[in-house]
Each structure stands twice: as C-alpha cells, then as structure tokens.
Amino acid sequence: MGYLVYYGHSAFEVNVSGKKILIDPWVTNPLSPVKPSDITGVDYIILTHDHDDHLGDTFEIMKNNPKAKVVSTYEIANFIAEKIGDESRAIGGNMGGPMVLEGGIKVALVPANHTSTHGSAVGAVIITGEGTLYHAGDTGITAEMSLIGELYKPDIAMLPIGGHFTMDHNEAAKAVELIRPKVAIPMHYGTFPVLYGDPQEFARMVTSRGLPTKVVVLKPGERFEFKF
C-alpha cells in the first residue's frame, strides 16, 4: 500500500516501495500545515522546475535529511549539486526513458509547457510497485499528454488547475480525457487570488465528459492511500 500527502500548492509527499519522495517541496506555502523541519526520512526530492514556488524549501529539507537526493533535469541537478557542494546527491536526467532509482522505482521526465530558470520545465512519471503516478508540474495543456497516458498509463494524475500560469479547471478536465488516469488530484490553485481554478468545477467537468476517472480533492495535510 502506497500513500501520498498533499501539502498545498504543488507540494506532495509520496511513500512507495519503502521510499519517501517529495515533489516540488514548497512546504512554506500559505496553505501548508507543516514546516520544513517537520519533514524527515526523505529519500528523494523530485523537482519539475526551479521557480521559487516549486524549488521551494529544497535546500533546507536536504540539510535536515542528509541522505536525500534531488532528481530533476540535468541543469537543475547540477545547480543543486553546486549549491550544496555534493554532486553525489543530485541525479540529473532529461526527457526520455525512465531513470532507475532505489527500491525498483523509476522516474520518467516528460514535457511540460512552462518555463524554468535552469533547463526546461518537466512533469514527472513515478513508476512503482504500488502504482504509477504522474505529477504534471506547471503546464498548459499539451498534446503529449495523450502519449503519457498511452505509454505510462498513470493510475494517479496530479494536475494544476489554477489558471493564469497553468491550466485552469476547464483545460485540466480535457487533460484528464487525454491521460485517462484512474484518479485525478487537482493542485496549484487557491494559494493566491490569481490562481482562480475551482476544484469542484474541475470534478464536475470531468464527470460531464463521461470519464471514469475519480477526482480526489485533498485539503492540505490530507493523505490518500492507493494500491493498483
């Protein structure tokens, strides 16, 4: 049985195959119920891009979790390694075949339609024994999402719905149609007034498209258990 915890904005903790993975750990966001010092036992930190609201509290968390390694694009991994002075704690890859991590976990970096200070913005597909999870990062809707659905068949898709910088609830509902996950979890909304996306409207629109996907709306701090 795996589980994930939502910390608000785009920050998640994923526990699978005996490993604890953080994704885009801005846990000091206005909605988060935790602070960086609360997070222990981290094995990997996946970064979709290096904007402040996604790179977030990575450095403090790495300091508090000395075995944690960052997984990201080559450019961001090198940036992290240089900042902490330890290249062994940064795993850099690129869009393409999955990277193989400990515990039989694989991570594929996939296209995202967004920007990044270092390298390109990406999404991440996490392939585990408990299921396959797709964290879209910050992105507009892209045709490649249908390929992600076809190739990786994500069980869970974590999708931004806030609008302005990313998809809104309407575009994210179309993304669900392209990806066809078993579960869709909205993220990147409500943190600031400009992020107007409505999770309930997202759920309604997914249902109105006749899709079998279950929309799970998590409040910050809530946990979702899964095994597919």
Mean pLDDT taken over the chain: 97
Model pLDDT for residues 122-167, shown as the tens digit of each residue: 999 999 999 999 999 999 999 999 999 999 999 999 999 999 999 9
pLDDT for the residue numbered 107: 98
> Residue type at 94?
N
For the chain of 228 residues, list the mean pLDDT of each consecutive stretch of 10: 97 97 98 97 98 98 98 98 97 96 97 97 97 98 97 98 98 98 98 98 97 97 95
d(CA 97, CA 112): 16
Phi, psi (deg, nearest 5) at residue 90: -135, 125
- Indicate yes or no: pTM above 0.95: yes
- CATH 3.60.15.10 at 2-218, yes or no: yes
d(CA 208, CA 138): 25
Pairing of strands 90-93, 69-73: parallel
pLDDT for the residue numbered 201: 98
